[in-house]
Structure 1
Amino acid sequence: MVSYRKRGSVWQYEISYKDTSGKYKKLRKSGFPRKSDAISAAAQLQTNHPNLISFQSGKQIFSDYFEHWINLYKKPTVSNITFIKYQNTLQHAKQLFKGIRLSDLSRTVYQQKINKFAETHSIRTVHTFHKQLKSALLDAFDEKIISIDPTRKTVINGTPPRKQRMTLDYKETKLLVKHLDLNMLEDLVIYVAIVTGMRFAEILGLTPADIDTQNNIISITKTWDYKFNSGFKPTKTKSSQRDIVVDSETIKAIHKFVSHHKIPETNPIFVYNSHSIVSAEINKILSSKLNGLGIARIPFHGLRHTHASILLYSGVNLLSVSKRLGHSNVTTTQQTYLHIIKEMEEQDDNKIIILLQAIK
């Protein structure tokens, strides 16, 4: 229902409508010099926005809409870790789109904000940020809260990824191992990563029951949730469940640590009172040790790559390395360590030539 009235020297229109709760609301606008202008403007509004509830929703601050959207659609359906990523996106959106209403979001405005975000973030981070915002805005577009899709044909940029060293060479690995105190929890964690190639969560998931002291075998059947300390979790994939053969000295070092701290058979070896060190802490400790030895830093996960590289350079079969790492297939191992495989092929070519020459 539309009504018109004169306020002083100008005209005003007033549109009555029901909101989602059934309550009557009013939308007013004044400042029209003639009544016919007010009638024309009200008609135009109703033509362009037959659903006035959606039109009014477009006046929401974008970050407020996104916050409501992630709590309504994402919180009940995604994991805690994934929801934390949505909350991080929300915090960035509050700063980047501060004060901007949904109805004010054009393709130009959205692209400008994405470009601003890209100045200090990697392409991968910008893509994730854009993907989450886009999902919410497409819902707003479907519900006719906004009249256009501001994310259409968005160009994704970002800072170049940093080139990070990911492996130690054989001499550096020996030097690091030589300076580890295996009576210390953090040092033993680093040592186990070097000699097994296990992932950080897999190491934290080890219990005394997983250590076969008779056959020198470590069984990997679970991981530990070090992000939320919620307890044991399944391995990354089914193929990640595996047995790893190690030397007797490694088994003795773990057994000594377990005995000294009187760790029960089913308790995690490297977790105290259900709390473990987190990846940031172990990375900091590893970096400090490498720096003290004059070795360029690598991340903790780089110890897994170091283990695999040493085995491959030593001529260990690719399939054996793949199984030891818990990869789901050999292709994953080939793609990850392609540069090493190519080097090994060149060495094999030289061996073949020498062998053929010796036959003649």
Structure 2
Amino acid sequence: MVSYRKRGNAWQYEISYKDQNGKYKKLRKSGFLLKSEAILAASKVQTEHPNLTTVKSGSESLVSYYKRWIQVYKQNAVTPITYNKYQNTAKHAIELFGDLKLKDLTKLIYQERLNEFAKTHARRTVSCFHKQLRACILEALDEKIITTDPTRKAVITGQERPKMAKTLNYADWTKLLRYLNTSQIGEMIIYLAAVTGMRYGEIVGLTSNDIDLENKLINVNKAWDYKYKTGFMKTKTRSSVREIAIDSETSRKLDKFLECHASEPNRPIFMNAAGHILVSAEINKVLTEKLAELKIPRITFHGLRHTHASILLYKGVSVLSVSRRLGHSNITTTQSTYLHIIKELESQDQDKIIAILNNISK
């Protein structure tokens, strides 16, 4: 039921309704110069919010709604690491949106705050932030708490990181391997990444039980959460559980390393005496300093994985074998990641095919 009355020089509408508990509530709004304006506004509210409870929900702040949303929809549905990312988004949202109410969030405001975030973050980070926040806002749209999508057609920008090589060439790769001091934890980790293509979490999750020196195999069956320090965790995908064959030199270096760094069977072999495992920033620092010392172009630690795969492909190892060694979920992932190399190799194969056919008539 709607009623109207004039208060001073302005009109007010009052809508009576029952809340979710069956109790009568009243929704009032004043400040209309004409009664017709109050009637039009009340009609719009009733059309957009048939049960009227969502009108009150719109007074909740965006950050508060987002926190409740991730707790209900994400906490028990994603891994602890992924949930932590959603929580980080909440921290950024507090800085950007403060106590801004859902009903007051417009496309312009959203884009302005997104642009502000982009001033100090990489484009990929901004995209992830937008993706997580937008999913929550669309939920509010579905619940009719808001009537339009303020994130629609948002423009994603961000800081461009300085470009660096993604992989080492064969000469620099072999040079790096020759000059690594594999008695040191950090440099042994780098060596293993370069000769196996393992992910960082997989390497630092290795225990002595995972290393079969007799058969020259490394068993990848878990990873280590070096970022949030929750301990052992599952590998990235089911296909990441695999056996990786190693050469005699790598086997010898591992044997010597294990002698110098004896540890319990279920304790990570790269955990130091203080119980610390290097985080990604620390291992990248070790790698950067080593590459600078050897006058080799800088790459990231993950670039060692790409280097390993690229060299195997260039040396004629099949895409299927490389895919299995890397622990990719399917061969399509490998093909898409190393498409430029595969195309180059296909071009070389075409030349070989023509050469074979040309020899038929000779």
Normalised-by-shorter TM-score class:
0.7 to 0.9
Segments of structure 2 that go 5 or more residues without pairing to the other structure are: none
1:156 equivalent to 2:155? Answer yes
Between 57-66 and 24-33, the greater mean CA deviation after superposition: 24-33
The CA distance in 1 between the partners of 2:38 and 2:104, in whole Å, is: 25
Q: Following TM superposition, by how much is the alpha carbon of 1:184 offset from its aligned partner in structure 2, in angstroms?
A: 0.7
TM-score normalized by the length of structure 1: 0.83
In structure 1, C-alpha distance between the alignment counterparts of 2:241 and 2:85, rounded to whole Å: 28
User: Aligned ranges for residues 91-110 of structure 1 at < 5 Å?
Assistant: 91-110=91-110
Indicate yes or no: 2:208 matched with 1:208. Answer: yes
1:133 corresponds to:
133
Structural mapping, 1:176-325, within 5 Å:
176-272=176-272, 275-325=276-326
How far off is 1:204 after superposition?
1.5
Task: Call closer, same or farther: CA 1:60–1:236 in 2, change over 3 Å.
Answer: closer
Instruction: Decide whether aligned partners of structure 1 residues 359 and 86 sit closer, same or farther in structure 2, where only a CA change above 3 A counts.
Output: same
Question: d(CA) in 1 for partners of 2:150 and 2:84?
Answer: 25
Mapped to 1, the partners of 2:226 and 2:135 lie a distance apart of 30
- How many angstroms does 1:78 deviate by? 2.5
Partner Cα separation in structure 1 for residue 42 and residue 246 of structure 2: 80
Deviates more, 1:110-119 or 1:205-214: 110-119
Distance 1:142 1:225, change over 3 A: same
Two-structure CA RMSD over aligned residues (Å)? 3.4
Give the distance between the partners of 2:18 and 2:117, measured in 1 at CA: 39
Shift of 1:257: 1.7
CA distance in 1, matches of 2:289, 2:241: 32
Counterpart of 1:271 in 2: which secondary structure?
coil
The Cα shift of 1:185 comes to: 0.6
CA contact (8 A) 1:12 1:38 kept: no
Alpha-carbon distance between aligned partners in 2 of 1:8 and 1:343, rounded to the nearest angstrom: 80
- Deviation of 1:173 (Å): 1.5
Q: Give SS of 1:284's match.
A: helix
**Considering only CA atoms, is the larger Rg found in Structure 1 or Structure 2?**
1
Task: Give the counterpart letter for 2:105 in structure 1.
Answer: L
Q: Percent identity?
A: 53
Q: Please list, as runs of the form range in 1=range in 2, the aligned pairs for 1:22-61 lying within 5 A after superposition.
A: 27-29=27-29, 40=39, 44=43, 47-48=46-47, 49-61=49-61
Question: Residue 137 of structure 2 aligns to a residue in which SS?
Answer: helix
Give aligned pairs, total: 358
CA shift in 2, pair 1:159/1:229, >3 Å: closer
